[in-house]
Structure 1
Amino acid sequence: MVCTKQVYICHDTITGIFSAIYDAWKESRDTEAGIALRGCLMPQLFCEYREVDEKEQKSIAVERLIKNNLGYNAYWDLYHALLSDGPEKADAVYQTILAARKVKDSRKIMEHLSNPHVAKVFELSRKVANEAHLFTEFIRFRELDNGVLLSEITPKGRVLTCIADHFTNRFPLENWMVYDKTHKVFLVHKAGMNWILVEGEELDQTEAEKVSTAELEYERLWKGFCKSIAIKERENLACQRNHLPIHFRQDMTEFR
């Protein structure tokens, strides 16, 4: 008799993936199971595919399970891995949670890098954390006519929640937005309040180009400053790329 592997299919969101982990943990944790993202599914033999009923309650339950049994540090590694663009991230996180059951101290699961799933989670988590850190340096806001500060970015991972607190602390009394063009999500902050994520909306490019008069002047001055401090004879493009990767330049004032 051939054993069938259960594969749970979900959307590429925290709620969707945690819901899939909830179902897999509840129904198949003692048998072979996996998780696949919708749109990234590679059909395999001897697998039974199931659509996941995605619910916030399931996501909360899995978050609590991870924090209570694996600890906050491991939770943030798993969470950051799920923000990456890796198609295998959901299954890697689920398999890491399963692997934690077999180690003496589940809170040290992320130290077991000999496990390929743990190593993959570590790699994806570090990738997202590094990208988020770079965006805290390379994000450029522009002031619109209505006084709102707007920035457009093109990240590989879903880094908005990673950078939200940084800019909230820096601009607590400003109205600002960061638009993730890759995933079409807004990070929105209202003066004096906390930030929120807004999905399912498109950026109005016409309105986004209506910048204030002061903004135009500061852009001109900033570009002039960057040009004036450059020494053409000492130009080193390879060194520039190490400090400022080309991927980030498309949304920076200096290179527009």
Structure 2
Amino acid sequence: MQKIYVCHDDITGIFSAVYDAWKERRETGDAGIAFKGSVEQKLFCEYTECEEREEKVIAVEKMIKNHLGMDAYWKLYHAALSSDPAKGDAILGTMFAARRLKDSTRIMENLTSPSVEKVFALSRKVSNEAHYFKEFLRFKELESGILFARIDPKSQILACIAPHFADRLPLENWLIFDGTHEVFAVHEARKSWFLISGIEADMEILERLSESEMEIQKLWKGFFESISINERESYERQRQHLPIWYRKNIVEFQN
């Protein structure tokens, strides 16, 4: 009977489920991962709620880095951040496939494995999305002087982009709010960034902009309108370079 490990849809939950399946010496087709709130029960399966602990995550991360290598670790890590509901099974399947290889560090070259192929594809998709948001993200100055930005990504990319902005803006107090997953990345000037979840955002406060910010936005939009040439506008090309779903978080496209 296949055993399904039920966990939260985050790194801690997924790696804890991998730990339990590995410890119980499960094999491909003998185990799976499902996420709380979206479990679709199947016949002839045993469902068990996974106990999620940081010690399990550390153990799995150490095992991956030591036996599969850093490249495989980052691909598995990024795949775990994707929005694909089947990512847990793909990550678990990749781990099982690596166990059967003589040289487990070459696991990501084994694209004949459906699990490895899916992890590779998911990792690339998440990395691309994080790269786009590094380019498109715009901060606004609030009345308090704090820089604030909202994003609505498909994947859980805050942990991927926060180090970039911490490096670019080390002397600023800033917040990035992931509206899709309701998580904040918080950075205090001259200190490290961290993630906060489980709190309700007061959007009314986060929409109170400073006077200088409103003036700069007005000038910026005016600049874009002034350089636009109506005869050369191409909506299709615009969509190729900047997909529509990114635009709601970009100042130039907001009313």
TM-score (norm 2): 0.97
Other-structure match for 2:34: 36
**1:183 alignment partner, one of 181, 184, 187:** 181
**1:197 alignment partner, one of 187, 195, 198:** 195
Partners of 2:92 and 2:151 in 1: how far apart?
30
Deviation at 1:30, TM superposition (A): 4.5
**2:55 alignment partner, one of 57, 74, 78:** 57
Partners of 2:168 and 2:117 in 1: how far apart?
34
Deviations 1:198-247 (A, max 9, x none): 10112211111211111011000110111111111000111100111101
- Which runs of 5 or more structure 1 residues have no equivalent in the other structure? none
Q: Is 1:19 aligned with 2:16? A: yes
User: What is the letter of the counterpart of residue 65 of structure 1?
Assistant: M
Runs of 4+ in 1 over 4 A off after TM superposition: none
Other-structure match for 1:74: 72
Question: CA contact under 8 A between 2:217 and 2:251: conserved in structure 1?
Answer: yes
Other-structure match for 1:46: 44
Partners of 2:34 and 2:208 in 1: how far apart?
42
CA RMSD of aligned residues (A): 1.0
Partners of 2:44 and 2:136 in 1: how far apart?
47
Q: Is 1:104 aligned with 2:135? A: no
The SS at the match of 1:193 is coil
Question: CA contact under 8 A between 1:6 and 1:28: conserved in structure 2?
Answer: no
**1:122 alignment partner, one of 120, 123, 127:** 120
Deviations 1:69-125 (A, max 9, x none): 101110000000000000010111011011001123211111111110011111111
Q: Percent identity?
A: 56
User: What is the letter of the counterpart of residue 18 of structure 1?
Assistant: F
Other-structure match for 1:145: 143
Other-structure match for 2:216: 218
Partners of 1:30 and 1:133 in 2: how far apart?
35
Deviations 1:139-168 (A, max 9, x none): 011000111000011000000011011111
The SS at the match of 1:28 is coil
